[in-house]
Amino acid sequence: MKQEKKKHGFIKGFLVYILLMIALIVTGWVVLWRYLEHYEAARPVVVMENYMTQSLETDVDTAITVYAVERETYYQSASEIAEYLRGELAGLEWNYEKDEELSTEENPVFVLRCDEVALGHVTLTHTEDEAQMGIEQWENPAAQFDFDPLGKAVSVIAPYECTVLVDGVQLDDEFVTEALGLYPQLEEYELLITDPCHLLVYTLEPVFTEVAVEFSEGYTVLSCDEEDVHYAVPEFDGEEAEQLLTYCESFVQAYVDFTANNNGLWNVQQYMVENCDLFDEMTQATVGLNWGHGVNAEITMLEIKDFVYYGNAITCNAVYSMTRDDGDRTDHMHILLVNTEDGWRVIHREMYE
């Protein structure tokens, strides 16, 4: 009997031991699992993943509302800005990456991009609460947004005496960002044009709506391919413009007579600025270069187009067809005129395809 009691006691003790071991193992797994949970949750990447799925959309919407109010002007209302931004961002994917330059060990910083455009930053900060299981936790990520990259810059280039109106309101000096001596279209001729234009560059930025640009009387809009750049050029008297069109036609005729038919040096030089490079080039051609070798060219079609008056200069293009001994052909010439004491004269010509 004593032997059986000892046996039963041993078994009970062994079972208790087994149960204690199982309890310790389970407790250890629970503690380890909770530790891993806290560790995983405390990783900055996981914090950011949670932010992107749980909070980003709400933060963006709130930020748009605030930003629209800050950027509101007389030519774009807060509601127009907000509507534009929400429309632009709808359906686009956001992503993030760590900003190594801004990040510190205590405060990791992540840049937020939408369709590869950087529109904000998220900063992580440790909580002031006690660390859980020895692992420091993060506060709710603090996001800051800047939607300027989604706007456009609208530029207006006009003579300083020209009044510029946007949506009916005159722009003041607050919008002036630069002064220019020549229109950008004339910059390549800066060594030929000695009389400056005295231009002001007005810049509106960022703009999220279409704006109507107008100019005071005496100025007109210069057509260009740049959607968000508006040029004001002086209006040109219609009668004088017609006279100059005829003048350019006569220059082209004289140019062909000299370069192709080998006659009339003085006739072509009378249209030019005296002693300019083009004038000298024509003179040198009489003693060295004989361009046409007397091919008896006759103009059959001549058109002057793209005539632009800038105030201190005029540009236009001539397209003309010729019958020639060496074969019929069509040439294209770009012409630059400047105003001199003797009136408008050609200072540069350039052949183009």
Position 223 scores a pLDDT of 83
Among 307, 297, 194, smallest CA distance to 247 is for: 307
Longest dimension (CA), the chain: 146
Among 256, 227, 242, smallest CA distance to 329 is for: 256
Q: Where do the structural domains in the chain lie, given as residue ranges?
A: 34-150, 152-234, 238-351
Residue 321, both tokens = 């067809």
Instruction: Give the strand order in the sheet containing 164-166.
Output: 169-170, 164-166, 213-215
Kindly report, residue by residue over 131-190, the tens digit of the pLDDT.
444 456 667 788 999 999 999 999 999 999 999 999 999 999 999 999 999 999 999 999
Beta bridge partners of 15: none
Kindly report, residue by residue over 1-50, the tens digit of the pLDDT.
555 555 555 566 656 566 666 655 555 544 444 544 444 445 678 888 88
Kindly report, residue by residue over 46-76, the tens digit of the pLDDT.
888 888 999 999 999 999 999 999 999 999 9
Residue 179 exposed, middle or buried by CB count within 10 Å (0-12, 13-18, 19+):
exposed
Q: Which CATH class is domain 238-351?
A: alpha beta
User: Is residue 248 a contact partner of residue 260, using CB atoms and an 8 Å limit?
Assistant: no
* pLDDT, average across residues 88-105: 90
Residue 261 exposed, middle or buried by CB count within 10 Å (0-12, 13-18, 19+):
middle
Helix (H, G, I), strand (E, B) or coil at 113: strand
pTM for the structure as a whole: 0.79
